[in-house]
Structure 1
Amino acid sequence: MRTTFLAAALALPAAAFAAGSDNDSTPTTTETTTQCSEGMVWDANLGQCVAPKESSLTDDALYEAVRELAYAGRYADTLNVLAAMSDQSDDRVLTYRGFVARNTGDLEGGEAFYRAAIEANPDNLLARSYMGQGYVVEGRVDEAYAQLVEIRARGGEGSWPARALETAIRTGVTTNY
């Protein structure tokens, strides 16, 4: 009965992209992953690779480097860039710390970071999606579905976080960005 309900709920048509939802595409590949050595990021203002803490990059630009590095599976570099961001309690920082923890096998640590991100920003749909995907990996599908319900309730119907979590629940396959 629960499986039938879950399948029916996941088959609902997706609405247009929710306002304020996270980027729907894979991160753009830049010199950070094509030219910079380990621990470095591309600083377009300087035209060279630099240590993240020494760059002139804003937190938003550093966040894009975080997404790119995480997608490339360069988790140590991802953590290095996260450490350079000015507000370590920012929900984006916590979300990607959780992402790295989960993807390096620390599911409990990942969940703790996701919970902290959601506490900082209850509308962080990406943290909810990633946490739900961690639940799928652990076989906690009911808890994953509860996060999907929260994503939808917070305006995320049809967004990438909702679609990624729906796919994970349906197939058991999680995403890497």
Structure 2
Amino acid sequence: MLRMLTGLAVMAVAVLPHAAFAVGTDDDEPPKPTETTTTCTDGKVWDEATKTCTDAKDARLNDDTRFRAARELAYAGQPDAALQVLAAMTEGETGRVLTYMGFAHRMAGRLEEGQAAYDRALVLDPGNILARSYMGQGFVVQGEIELANLQLAEIRQRGGAGSWAETALAHAIATGVTYNH
């Protein structure tokens, strides 16, 4: 089984190099840095309309803008800033918010908090394959390979074969290397 997963991971990285490094959304490309990560500090978000760094709670920002900023911040290695932006989202604890909360906590080394966020995301949507992939990667970090394999099987069972979520988790299981962006 491990040999098959290793082969899958190598093939996926060779064939899908961009997908192998994406944080994972419907977009398989990493987010491009914007002023949110190049100019703003302290969890502020670049507001295109005013051309200023804006508090994430500012009513002029919508949740999609906040989410893109949180994704960019997480990718840029600023998990606490990403959490600050996610907390400002008005949509509440939705699947996408909880998935990235889990990711940001995991990147900050708070594995238990990350797992709890993934659990809440999966209660809302058991088919959230990105949450399952990130959860499985957390299990790999903890040395819980059997639990990671269970998440990989769930991803495949729920139609995620060939997705970034499957590829990233299979790679992490095979190599021990998780995605830290």
TM-score tier after normalising by the smaller chain length: 0.7 to 0.9
- Equivalent residue in structure 1 for 2:82, among 78, 84, 96: 78
Corresponding residue for 2:22?
none
CA separation in 2, counterparts of 1:103 and 1:39?
Answer: 16
Unaligned runs of 5+ in 1: none
- Equivalent residue in structure 2 for 1:162, among 162, 166, 179: 166
Q: Structure 1 residues 35 and 158 mapped into 2: Cα distance closer, same or farther (>3 Å)?
A: same
Q: Structure 1 residues 22 and 151 mapped into 2: Cα distance closer, same or farther (>3 Å)?
A: farther
Query: Where do 1:89-108 residues align within 5 Å?
Result: 89-108=93-112
CA separation in 2, counterparts of 1:37 and 1:29?
Answer: 14
Corresponding residue for 2:113?
109
CA RMSD, aligned part only? 2.2
- Output the amino acid matched with 2:119: R
- TM-score using structure 2 length: 0.85
2:5–2:170 Cα contact (<8 Å) kept: no
Following TM superposition, the consecutive aligned residue runs of length 4 or more in structure 1 with deviations greater than 6 angstroms are none
1:98–1:112 Cα contact (<8 Å) kept: yes
- Output the amino acid matched with 2:55: A
Q: CA deviation at 1:88?
A: 2.3
CA separation in 2, counterparts of 1:80 and 1:114?
Answer: 17
Unaligned runs of 5+ in 2: 20-24
- What per-residue deviation string (whole Å, max 9, x for no partner) do you get for residues 9-38 of structure 1? 554576x99xxx632121121110011122
CA separation in 1, counterparts of 2:73 and 2:29?
Answer: 15
Give secondary structure in 1 for the equivalent of 2:143. Answer: coil
**Identity between Structure 1 and Structure 2 (%):** 50
The size of the alignment, in residue pairs, is 171
